[in-house]
Structure 1
Amino acid sequence: MEVTLGLRMLFATVCAVAVATIYAAQPVLAQVGGDLGVPEAELGWVVTAGQLGYLAGLVLLVPVGDMVDRRKLIAAHLALAAGAVALAATATHVWLLLAALAAAGVFAVVVQTTVAYAAALSTAEARGRTLGVVTSGLVIGILGARVVAGVLAAVWGWRSVYVALAALLIVLACLVPRLLPPDPRPRQATYRQVLASLGRLFGDGLFVSRGLIAFFLFASFGTLWSGLALPLAAAPWHLSTAQIGLFGIAGLAGALGAARTGHWADAGYARAVTAAALALLIASWPAIGQASWSLVLVAVGVVVLDFAVQAVHVNNQHLLTTAHPHRTSSVIGGYMIFYSLGSALGATATTAVFARAGWTGSSILGAVFAGCALVVWAFSHRDAAD
């Protein structure tokens, strides 16, 4: 069927709000730490809890999209995510906040069900454009959450961020059954068969290589966005949470600029675009590393980094859904396991490295992750050419 612009925008909105439940904590880590008494070196776990929950959801819940009506599944997961973030908003102990954010992460995998549904509904000729728009929603949620969360936290405190997210999730849970088309597929696979199918993907060369690229790609991404608030809140800048959140606008500019790469993927240039984008990712880190004296260079580096990340991410998903058109939920869910592990690694590593080596150490770490992604691309490209 033809996926209209209106449907693409609805899919993108679902992705944006759902993924924000994981990343909204990043610009308010200092507030959370001060309120709940979390040491600086351990703040990364506030973000990592959501990532680990997301990982569990990818394995256990996303494959269900290949066996049930995805419209109903999306609505149910949105409602359950709303309950989890509402619990986070009321948490008075660190363990309760971590548990709530982990639960929110589990149901935030509605993002992958949504992406897979959008890809399955699209024609082969338009799949790249659809994925470009829908995954732009994902990046808008990741980066826009920083802007909105920073402003809300500055005015009403960090808890208001999760109250707002709960309200948006409930609204979307009500809209999805009314506006999305019913799932047209026959549903014959059992849960065991779907999980077995997911396991077999790890023997597929394209899947593993693109997954490893995603692992290092999002480790680099997580290194930036889980750690950037720390140098910006410290001397010489002492920026507020609202001011730190504004750096998400720079990231949005880069990520939305990469939506065009979906057209390039449709034209057959996915592999070449991946290489160029990974080179840009590496090049962004020397600028980002100058946070101690130049906010302008940091902003430029953020634009370049987020353009590169989005470009690679769209092309990865285009290649995988094209190669596995009849099990898009499983292949997207499996691919995002690598994403989740990489993001969790970046979130925990950057705060630990910052506590010992400052932002220079975190920037070197991010560049190393980006370099590893390019090495994986080079070896997989060579194997494909042999």
Structure 2
Amino acid sequence: MNPPLDISQNKPLLWLMAIACGLCAGANYYCQPLIHSIQQYFNVPESQVALTVTFAQVSYALGLLFIVPVGDIVNKTKFIPVLMFFAAIGLLLCAFAVNLPMLWVGTIIAGLFSVAAQVLIPLATMAVKPEKTGEVVGFLMSGLLVGLLLSTSLAGLLSNLFNWKLIYAVSAVLMLIIAFLLKSKLPHVPIMKMSYAKIFQSMGHLLKQEPRLLYRALVGGFAFAAMSILFSTIAVLLTSEPFNLPDVLVGVATLIGVFGALSTTKIGKIADRGHTKALTWIGITILAISWGFLYFGGQSLISYVIGYGIINFGLATVHSSNQNIIFRLRPDAKSRINSIYMTIYFIGGACGSALGIYAWHHGGWAMTCVAGLCLVIGSAFFALLDMLYHSKVQTA
């Protein structure tokens, strides 16, 4: 029997969905603390291994663009477990990779299909009362972000205790188990009758009809790019002088971000009460402050950890505010709206990762921090445009 359509009170299902979101998010980030170990294992240049992070995010962005919109026109109850199954296949390829190209192929497959989380979230917003949207999305985002952060810690721990490949194998098995459990528990929601080709035509119309969607996507994209600079540089910074940390401690250093991730449910509740503008500017301010701590973190591990925790909280605040706004724009097109938003969001992440590598190799940690702050300024610029547009619409 399927659960009732209002799932806000169905805590076991929400927890299962949150775990699924966490597993899907983690699938793209295991490589971050493992770059040094992978480089030694395959005996290739570190810069090539660092590209694994970018491949993960680019493939995820492609999945967001070409796979997530399908959620509006198919049975999500079947679609989500199928996506998770193929993501597990990608993780298994990574676990048994015999060379770096094979790891890249597995990473790309896992990235493409782990977008299951971004089909789950719109489904949840369609199965709750409107006034509960922010709270439920925040809860699922907590699961996603905690999964992302724990993935790096567990990857480092298992790498130190056993082998860097073990995290991929364990994650693949867990992904298959959760997919099986979800198949019989997910709620059925309305399906639109539309061809695959028309999905993209309608997405173009959405961008024209809903300027706030584009503005908010760019706010999120620049904010996530600022955070993603750390994804491609954390391992090379903390495993070199003056820190010389092993993989396991690189992962542990990121655990401070869990506090920011756990805040998304509370942030969602505040956003539900109409405080999205204030939350956006608070989040952007926190992002800017974090780069001050991160700059001094080039020589102080304590400062780096504080900065990492603050930047996670700032990003969670901005992202939760954005999602609260966009999911209210067009209730009949939530998967497509999420696809547009998250595609731009993760393109920003991929660009941030690539920019982090470039800045590191051309100006060291100081240049990396300058790049991060510039991206925060970009996020603030589009937040200002969104605020001006929204004020104009309200006074019209």
Q: Is residue 2:207 matched to residue 1:202? A: yes
Contiguous gaps of at least 5 residues in structure 2: none
Deviation digits for residues 137-173 of structure 1 (CA, Å, limit 9, x no counterpart): 1111221111111101111121111111111111111
Partners of 1:40 and 1:351 within 8 A in 2: no
Partners of 1:2 and 1:121 within 8 A in 2: yes
Partner of 1:189: 194
Shift of 1:41: 2.8
Partner of 2:250: 244
Q: SS in structure 1 opposite 2:258?
A: helix
Partner of 1:124: 130
Partner of 1:77: 83
Alignment of 1:39-58 (within 5 A): 39-58=45-64
> Which letter maps to 1:62?
V
Partner of 1:287: 293
Shift of 1:193: 2.4
Return the alpha-carbon distance in structure 1 between the equivalents of residues 179 and 386 of structure 2. Answer: 40
Deviation digits for residues 156-205 of structure 1 (CA, Å, limit 9, x no counterpart): 12111111111111111111112222x13144222222222122222221
Shift of 1:332: 0.5
Return the alpha-carbon distance in structure 1 between the equivalents of residues 21 and 361 of structure 2. Answer: 33
Partners of 1:16 and 1:138 within 8 A in 2: yes
Alignment of 1:228-377 (within 5 A): 228-377=234-383
Return the alpha-carbon distance in structure 1 between the equivalents of residues 18 and 232 of structure 2. Answer: 23
Deviation digits for residues 114-135 of structure 1 (CA, Å, limit 9, x no counterpart): 1111111111010010011001
- TM-score, length-scaled by structure 1: 0.97
Which deviates more, 208-217 or 283-292?
A: 283-292
Task: Work out which of the residue numbers 118, 132, 141 in structure 2 matches 1:112.
Answer: 118
Partners of 1:41 and 1:355 within 8 A in 2: no
Q: SS in structure 2 opposite 1:323?
A: coil
Q: Is residue 2:43 matched to residue 1:37? A: yes
Partners of 2:142 and 2:263 within 8 A in 1: no
> Which letter maps to 1:295?
L
Q: Is residue 2:153 matched to residue 1:173? A: no
Shift of 1:248: 2.2
When the two structures are aligned, how many residues end up with a matched partner? 385
- TM-score, length-scaled by structure 2: 0.94
Q: Is residue 2:112 matched to residue 1:101? A: no
Shift of 1:336: 0.6
Partner of 1:61: 67
Return the alpha-carbon distance in structure 2 between the equivalents of residues 56 and 225 of structure 1. Answer: 19
> Which letter maps to 1:117?
L
> Which letter maps to 1:150?
G
Return the alpha-carbon distance in structure 2 between the equivalents of residues 63 and 36 of structure 1. Answer: 37
Deviation digits for residues 333-377 of structure 1 (CA, Å, limit 9, x no counterpart): 111111111111111121221122222211111111111101111
- What's the C-alpha RMSD, in Å, of the aligned pairs? 1.3
Return the alpha-carbon distance in structure 2 between the equivalents of residues 154 and 350 of structure 1. Answer: 26
Q: SS in structure 2 opposite 1:188?
A: coil
Deviation digits for residues 80-138 of structure 1 (CA, Å, limit 9, x no counterpart): 11111101111112222111111111101111001111111111010010011001111
Shift of 1:264: 1.1
Deviation digits for residues 215-261 of structure 1 (CA, Å, limit 9, x no counterpart): 10110110122211211111111101100101221011122124311
> Which letter maps to 1:290?
F
Q: SS in structure 2 opposite 1:202?
A: helix
Return the alpha-carbon distance in structure 1 between the equivalents of residues 216 and 265 of structure 2. Answer: 19
Contiguous gaps of at least 5 residues in structure 1: none
Partner of 2:226: 220
Return the alpha-carbon distance in structure 1 between the equivalents of residues 279 and 332 of structure 2. Answer: 25
Return the alpha-carbon distance in structure 1 between the equivalents of residues 106 and 191 of structure 2. Answer: 35
Deviation digits for residues 65-92 of structure 1 (CA, Å, limit 9, x no counterpart): 0011111111001111111110111111
Q: SS in structure 1 opposite 2:229?
A: helix
Return the alpha-carbon distance in structure 2 between the equivalents of residues 275 and 52 of structure 1. Answer: 28
Partners of 1:42 and 1:352 within 8 A in 2: no
Return the alpha-carbon distance in structure 1 between the equivalents of residues 302 and 23 of structure 2. Answer: 29
> Which letter maps to 1:10?
L
Return the alpha-carbon distance in structure 2 between the equivalents of residues 224 and 23 of structure 1. Answer: 12
> Which letter maps to 2:195?
T
Q: SS in structure 1 opposite 2:327?
A: helix
> Which letter maps to 1:240?
P
Return the alpha-carbon distance in structure 2 between the equivalents of residues 330 and 215 of structure 1. Answer: 17
Partners of 2:218 and 2:382 within 8 A in 1: yes
Alignment of 1:145-160 (within 5 A): 145-160=151-166
Partners of 1:259 and 1:311 within 8 A in 2: no
> Which letter maps to 2:280?
T
Task: Work out which of the residue numbers 8, 14, 27 in structure 2 matches 1:8.
Answer: 14
Q: SS in structure 2 opposite 1:239?
A: coil
